[in-house]
């Protein structure tokens, strides 16, 4: 079992942004990864963070993962909305194309390969893993300002 915090954001929306994930073990940060993009959105960076976190877990042979995200968009998207999106040909209930579909398709494939427990955590609430992700996201974003 591996516990991973994820975060993504940008300066302006769209604008330059960053993503990060932090692997936590027994309350201590054991590993982290981050990156960014000069022109992106908050939601794309949130999705990029969880996709990279799951790819990392898979690369080290870990199949049981708890993802802690402060993004309701990610948590609700992968645990609730995605089923109707796929049933509706990647369309929303309003018949509009699902935004960021290519990210959702990749995340869905990883989610199906692994045993992921999706949990939401409140952002900016002093939670070590989440705060470290937020710091890394700001650092990555600053590279493009």
pLDDT beyond 90 at 95: yes
The residue extents of the domains of the chain are 2-72+103-142
Q: What is the tens place of the pLDDT at every residue in 99-128?
A: 999 999 999 999 999 999 999 999 889 999
Percent of the chain scoring above 70 in pLDDT: 100
The pLDDT, as a whole number, for residue 27 is 79
Alpha helix stretches (DSSP H) within the chain: 42-59, 72-76, 82-87, 101-113, 128-142
The domain at 2-72+103-142 falls in which architecture?
Answer: 2-Layer Sandwich (3.30)
Strand 15-25 to 28-40 pairing: antiparallel
Q: Are 9 and 18 in contact (CB under 8 A)?
A: yes
Q: What is the mean pLDDT of the chain?
A: 96
The pLDDT, as a whole number, for residue 100 is 98
pTM over 0.85: yes
The pLDDT, as a whole number, for residue 78 is 98
CA atoms within 13 A on the CB side of 100: 20
Catalytic residues: 7-8, 46, 70, 124, 134
Strand 115-120 to 64-69 pairing: parallel
């Amino acid at each position: 079992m591996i516990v991973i915090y994820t975060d993504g954001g940008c300066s302006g929306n769209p604008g330059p942004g960053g993503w990060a994930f932090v692997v936590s073990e027994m309350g201590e940060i054991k590993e982290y990864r981050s990156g960014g993009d000069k022109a992106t959105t908050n939601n794309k960076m949130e999705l990029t963070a969880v996709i990279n976190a799951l790819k990392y877990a898979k690369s080290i042979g870990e199949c049981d993962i708890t993802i802690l995200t402060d993004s309701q968009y990610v948590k609700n998207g992968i645990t609730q909305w995605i089923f109707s999106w796929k049933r509706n040909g990647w369309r929303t209930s309003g018949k509009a194309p699902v935004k960021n579909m290519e990210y959702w398709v990749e995340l869905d494939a990883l989610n199906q390969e692994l045993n992921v427990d999706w949990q939401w955590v409140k952002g900016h609430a002093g939670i070590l893993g989440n705060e470290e992700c937020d710091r890394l996201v700001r650092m990555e974003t600053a590279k493009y300002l």
